[in-house]
């Protein structure tokens, strides 16, 4: 007589709870559940950063108009590009074309006491130059956007690999139980709006609780987070408890960790009904702060609004925050596109550094600004093509030295200049992990019988010369 209710209950679990409007809330887990189910919930050693904010300039911003001045390239503008540099090299759309040098259309200035050279297109970022470490010897392996994003985010182009945000959450655990530990925002520019797929913040073969959760830049940050009309907190609490009781029964029966994740999702969703509206309500921000970021209308989907939201998330204990600005794929109209894209991000990027610093948060928050690759020193019509042999990005906070540059590209900006100072994407990953107290060689997870790492099996090194306490 008792078997019939059990069958009904399990049928409900299989067909109902798997699809109960929770997809918008992602896979989230509270600290206590996570700590019991991962081998590495604590740092390997004391880190300098507890939060990472990744400002991803999606599309590949030109290092030659942003962070890497090349006066020698300017001298050979419109002349044939040296074949000795490009013979046998991989190019994207310029493969097989006549290669002509393109100098920068803008000037570079020395900023701050450090005298770091940054393009005049980024005066606000220039104003915080003494807080920045510019890496000018970056290189990657993927020459098209989606695989290059995948490589930057996961260290691999193989589908199903965890993103770096998922690795951080896996290694360190969550600091908040009222918001996801890994949150993503996107914004769009007027030119070069490169698509970014959701796989860039997936957990891959790690448990789904480590997956990034995309918040909306406009309107409600999370769809359906508010309770339906007529539903009280008491009623909803009782519903969640009933569903979780069913799930606990299924967990005991199957021992599947994803069921434990689902239980925690419901609990997180209940808490987010309070935490998310409070997060999105920026009425507590001063007009001076809004003006600092250049926010004219909070929650308008702009990069500026998302940067302010990133600071608010960091204050609330979110571990990894990614802001994608899809605006940098300038195969044509480079001058118009770069000016427009730079204007859209310059003020807010600098404001984030300034705001974190004045709140005493920059020391333990690592900020990274850059794209998936750079642009060619050769022209492509009125623009530049994809480029993987040299590009630039900057880092700030989280124990990173300010007012310095690391590595260089050659005199034409085509390739990193000096062996030993080249910076592969894997080196960037190893360094990020290190700032957070994680050893990239020890942070691993079993997958198909192998110990898999974010940095893979090929050599990766921590960039200790850029660290304050290395």
The answer to which of 36-45, 254-263, 271-280 has the lowest mean pLDDT is 254-263
Is pLDDT above 60 for 397?
Answer: yes
Angstrom distance (rounded) from CA 276 to CA 170: 23
Per-residue pLDDT band at 45 (split at 50, 70, 90): very high
Cβ–Cβ < 8 Å for 240, 267: yes
Is pLDDT above 90 for 73?
Answer: yes
Instruction: Report the pLDDT value the prediction gives residue 101, as an integer from 0 to 100.
Output: 98
Average pLDDT, the chain: 86
Tell me the per-residue pLDDT of 339-375, one tens digit each, with 9 for 90 and over.
999 999 999 999 999 999 999 999 999 999 999 999 9
Angstrom distance (rounded) from CA 189 to CA 121: 16
Q: For residue 36, with 0-12 CB atoms within 10 Å meaning exposed, 13-18 middle and 19 or more buried, which class applies?
A: exposed
Domains detected in the chain: 49-234+286-466 (3.40.720.10)
Between 417 and 277, whose confidence is greater? Answer: 417
Other beta carbons within 10 Å of 231: 11
Angstrom distance (rounded) from CA 127 to CA 454: 34
Other beta carbons within 10 Å of 2: 5
Alpha carbon distances (Å) from 439 to 55, 274, 284, 384, 459: 23, 36, 39, 37, 13
Per-residue pLDDT band at 271 (split at 50, 70, 90): low
Phi-psi label, residue 318: left if phi above 0, alpha if psi -120 to 50, beta otherwise: beta
Q: Compute the radius of gyration of the chain from its Cα atoms.
A: 23
Instruction: Report the pLDDT value the prediction gives residue 260, as an integer from 0 to 100.
Output: 56
Residue with tokens 């860039």: 200
Strand 450-453 with 444-447, pairing: antiparallel
Q: What is the mean pLDDT of residues 199-205?
A: 95
| Residue 79: HSE in the Cβ half-sphere, 13 Å Cα cutoff | 10
Is pLDDT above 80 for 44?
Answer: yes
Instruction: Report the pLDDT value the prediction gives residue 241, as an integer from 0 to 100.
Output: 60
Scored b (16 or more CB within 10 A) or e, 238-276 reads: eeeeebbebbeebbeeeeebebbbbbbbbbbbbebeebb
Instruction: Report the pLDDT value the prediction gives residue 9, as an integer from 0 to 100.
Output: 43
Instruction: Report the pLDDT value the prediction gives residue 178, as an integer from 0 to 100.
Output: 87
The answer to which of 137-151, 186-200, 258-272, 298-312 has the lowest mean pLDDT is 258-272
The answer to which of 4-13, 276-285, 347-356 has the lowest mean pLDDT is 4-13
The answer to which of 16-20, 232-236, 267-271, 404-408 has the lowest mean pLDDT is 16-20
Other beta carbons within 10 Å of 20: 13
Between 210 and 32, whose confidence is greater? Answer: 210
Q: What is the mean pLDDT of residues 270-289?
A: 82
Is pLDDT above 90 for 386?
Answer: yes
Q: Which helix (H) or strand (E) holds 184?
A: strand 182-188
Instruction: Report the pLDDT value the prediction gives residue 280, as an integer from 0 to 100.
Output: 86
The answer to which of 31-35, 61-65, 103-107 has the lowest mean pLDDT is 31-35
Q: List residues bridging with 364 in a β-sheet.
A: none
Tell me the per-residue pLDDT of 255-270, one tens digit each, with 9 for 90 and over.
565 655 555 555 555 5
Alpha carbon distances (Å) from 422 to 155, 203, 457: 17, 29, 18
Q: For residue 206, with 0-12 CB atoms within 10 Å meaning exposed, 13-18 middle and 19 or more buried, which class applies?
A: buried
Residue with tokens 């906070």: 397
Other beta carbons within 10 Å of 16: 11
In 3D space, the residue among 145, 144, 143, 167 whose CA is nearest the CA of residue 155 turns out to be 167
Residue with tokens 């042999």: 389
Instruction: Report the pLDDT value the prediction gives residue 6, as an integer from 0 to 100.
Output: 43
């Amino acid at each position: 007589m008792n078997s019939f209710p059990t069958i009904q209950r399990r049928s409900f679990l299989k067909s109902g709870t798997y699809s109960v409007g929770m997809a918008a809330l992602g896979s989230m887990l509270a600290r206590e559940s996570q700590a019991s189910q991962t081998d590495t919930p604590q740092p390997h050693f004391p880190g300098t950063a507890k939060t990472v904010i990744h400002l991803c300039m999606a599309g590949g911003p030109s290092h030659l108009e942003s962070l890497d001045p090349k006066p020698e390239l300017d001298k050979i503008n419109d002349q044939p590009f040296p074949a000795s540099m490009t013979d046998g090299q991989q190019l994207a759309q310029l493969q097989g074309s006549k290669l002509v040098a393109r100098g920068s259309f803008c000037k570079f200035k020395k900023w701050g006491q450090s005298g770091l050279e940054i393009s005049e297109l980024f005066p606000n970022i220039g104003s915080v130059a003494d807080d920045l470490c510019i890496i000018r010897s970056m290189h990657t392996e993927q020459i098209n956007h989606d695989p290059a994003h995948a490589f930057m985010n996961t260290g691999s182009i193989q589908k199903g690999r965890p993103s770096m945000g998922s690795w951080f959450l896996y290694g360190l655990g969550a600091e908040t139980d009222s918001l996801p530990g890994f949150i993503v925002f996107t914004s769009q520019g007027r030119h070069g709006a490169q698509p970014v797929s959701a796989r860039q913040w997936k957990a891959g073969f790690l448990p789904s609780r480590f997956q990034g959760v995309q918040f909306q830049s406009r309107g409600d940050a999370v769809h359906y987070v508010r309770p339906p009309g007529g539903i009280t907190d008491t009623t909803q609490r009782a519903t969640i408890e009933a569903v979780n009781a069913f799930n606990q029964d299924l967990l005991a029966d199957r021992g599947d960790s994803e069921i434990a994740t689902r239980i925690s999702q419901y609990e997180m969703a209940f808490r987010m009904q309070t935490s998310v509206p409070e997060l999105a309500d920026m009425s507590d921000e001063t007009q001076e702060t809004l003006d600092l970021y250049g926010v004219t209308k909070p929650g308008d989907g702009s990069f500026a609004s998302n940067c302010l939201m990133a600071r608010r998330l960091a204050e609330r204990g979110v571990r990894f925050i990614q802001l994608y600005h899809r605006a940098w794929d300038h195969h044509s109209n480079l001058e118009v596109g770069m000016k427009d894209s730079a204007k859209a991000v310059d003020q807010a990027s600098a404001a984030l550094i300034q705001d974190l610093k004045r709140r005493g948060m920059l020391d333990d928050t690592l900020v990274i600004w850059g794209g998936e690759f750079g642009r060619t020193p050769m022209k492509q019509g009125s623009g530049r093509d994809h480029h993987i042999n040299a590009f630039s990005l900057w880092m700030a906070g989280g124990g990173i030295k300010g007012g310095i540059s690391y590595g260089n590209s050659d005199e034409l900006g085509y390739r990193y200049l000096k062996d030993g100072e080249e910076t592969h994407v894997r080196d960037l990953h190893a360094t990020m992990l290190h700032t957070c107290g994680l050893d990239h060689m020890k942070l691993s997870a079993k997958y198909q019988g192998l110990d898999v790492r974010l940095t893979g099996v090929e050599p990766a090194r921590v960039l200790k010369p850029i660290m304050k306490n290395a």
